[in-house]
Structure 1
Amino acid sequence: MSRHPPFKQVEATRPEFDATVQWSTTKIPSPDWQPGTGASGRQDLPGVKEGLWTAEGGSYKEIDPKEASVGSIYKMMISAVTPRPIGFISSVSPSGSLNLAPFSYFNMVCHNPPIISVSFTHPSPSELKGTCENILNTKNFTANIISEPFVEAANYTSIDAPKGVSEWALSGLTPVKSKVVDSPRVGESAFSMECELEHHHHIYNDAHERTGTIVLGRVRLFHVRDDIIDDTLLVDTGKLMPVSRLGGITYGRTTSTYEAPRPVWEKESEKEEVKEALRKGEQKAKV
């Protein structure tokens, strides 16, 4: 028996999805921040007034993964390492069966050559997740970015259906034939990558049981919808409307941003506040 009330009952108490909230860019939290001053100290941010965002602020738990349950470590990590991009991975089995599933252990790792990573946790030491098994057998897959207009369909593909059941059919999304690889891309996705398997590495726990596999895929072809990309190949995040993964069953929207230029040493090194920050840093290092 679940200790949580039925989800639909909980959802019914929440405000309606607000489609009027559009992409916006604000100032950074503390535009007058100076080098060497640490946390901004902005008092209206939660916990700042209480001193929680300083080196001495708050008390800390130390969690040794050897002494905690696997389930609790999973729960902690997915709720802390956020937001995570989601790889909506399409694969095909050697017999031609199509598979589609979302994975939030996903990211880009290189742009020259373009390489992305996706990792899988497995049902048992002797069994691979269907998507992983397909990739290792056929050496290809496609990765699609999930956007708000089809997040419900994408989420439904996370169902624990047995092998052989088509998540494509359950989602109602459209498989579009790829140009370079066998795995189709998601027609509704505004950004898709056709990938060939570059490398894989199995992961073993302390009991020497295989618990996961990380896959590196080399992107052989990108598909980007015309209206979200400019002539410099910069993708407009506001139009892409990407969905991120947070803890538990929670997804995140990307609707508000702020910008922070990357500092250039040649210019910054001559500023008095930078020189003073370095002097103070040297003094701390001697303590």
Structure 2
Amino acid sequence: MQFDFAALDTATGYKLLTATVTPRPIAWVTTSSVEGVVNAAPFSFFNVVGSAPPTVVLGLQGDPVKGFKDTARNIMATGEFVVNLVPESLAEAMNITAIDAPTGINELDIAGLEPAPSIKVTPPRIARSPVALECTMHSSIVTGPHQTLVVGRVVSMFIDDAYVIDAARGHVDNTALALVARSFGSEYIRTRDRFAMDRPTWAGWHNQTPPKA
């Protein structure tokens, strides 16, 4: 079946995208307001999009009536944010920070989480998160009346020592991180079930594939 997004209502389009584009990594974003109030919220419209320079992207959506949430407003006002990654052990706490709290409420307090100071940006990281990417806003693109794309440059990265295998070579125990990803609706996906495939080379492919008659 073919779906014409120009003919679909927004809610149906959202369902189609989030039900098929899975798993999606979760950015557990911490920001600070101009007044210094910390905010934390999870976003699954997120990914790494480059490494030279290291770059991430966040898709931020606002309510047609209430407008953008604190995360978007804080990033636009300060140009800084931290992307914390979510292990399975913190999934419930992450879900709590998705609560529709009033502006000015620190979701870390509600979820019983402690902040830890960042090195190069003002917003703190989440102390129990095993990985935190400190970011400054590179640019933002308005992609719709109630959505904005934020491109962030990673200026510093924290990884818990327990998961660093070889710092000099950038080797991390990815399996032990036990990160979770977003699926559809209220469902999440564990990253334990894996399989490996070696990327083919043209030379190897050419030598192994018999020529066509």
Q: TM-score, normalised by structure 2?
A: 0.95
1:158 match: secondary structure: coil
Q: Does 1:266 align with 2:206?
A: no
Q: What is residue 7 of structure 2 aligned with on the other side?
A: 67
Correspondence for 2:42 among 74, 86, 102: 102
Correspondence for 2:147 among 203, 212, 224: 212
1:151-203 deviation line (CA, Å, top 9, x unaligned): 10011111111111111111111111111100100100111111111111111
Residue 172 of structure 2 aligns to which amino acid in structure 1?
V
Q: What is residue 125 of structure 2 aligned with on the other side?
A: 185
1:269 match: secondary structure: helix
1:218-276 deviation line (CA, Å, top 9, x unaligned): 11111011121221222222210000000011011111111100111122212234x44
Q: Does 1:81 align with 2:16?
A: no
Q: Is the 8 A contact 1:125 1:211 kept in 2?
A: no
Q: CA 1:172 to 1:186, structure 2 compared with 1: closer, same or farther past 3 Å?
A: same
Q: What is residue 92 of structure 1 aligned with on the other side?
A: 32
> In proportion to residue count, which structure has more strand?
2
Q: Does 1:230 align with 2:170?
A: no
Q: Does 1:167 align with 2:102?
A: no
Distance in structure 1 (CA, Å) of the matches to 2:29 and 2:39: 8
Tell me the percent identity: 32
Distance in structure 1 (CA, Å) of the matches to 2:162 and 2:128: 14
Distance in structure 2 (CA, Å) of the matches to 1:194 and 1:155: 21
Q: Is the 8 A contact 2:67 2:146 kept in 1?
A: no
Q: What is residue 72 of structure 2 aligned with on the other side?
A: 132
1:122-165 deviation line (CA, Å, top 9, x unaligned): 11278222101100110100001000111100111111111111
Q: Is the 8 A contact 1:141 1:181 kept in 2?
A: yes
Q: How many residues align?
A: 211
Q: What is residue 141 of structure 1 aligned with on the other side?
A: 81
Distance in structure 2 (CA, Å) of the matches to 1:116 and 1:245: 17
Q: TM-score, normalised by structure 1?
A: 0.71
Residue 272 of structure 1 aligns to which amino acid in structure 2?
T
2:147 match: secondary structure: strand
Residue 98 of structure 2 aligns to which amino acid in structure 1?
S
RMSD: 1.4
Distance in structure 2 (CA, Å) of the matches to 1:82 and 1:69: 21
**How far apart are residue 65 of structure 1 and its match?**
1.4
Distance in structure 1 (CA, Å) of the matches to 2:61 and 2:38: 20
Q: Which runs of 5+ in 1 are unaligned?
A: 1-60, 205-209, 280-287
Larger radius of gyration: 1
1:134 match: secondary structure: helix
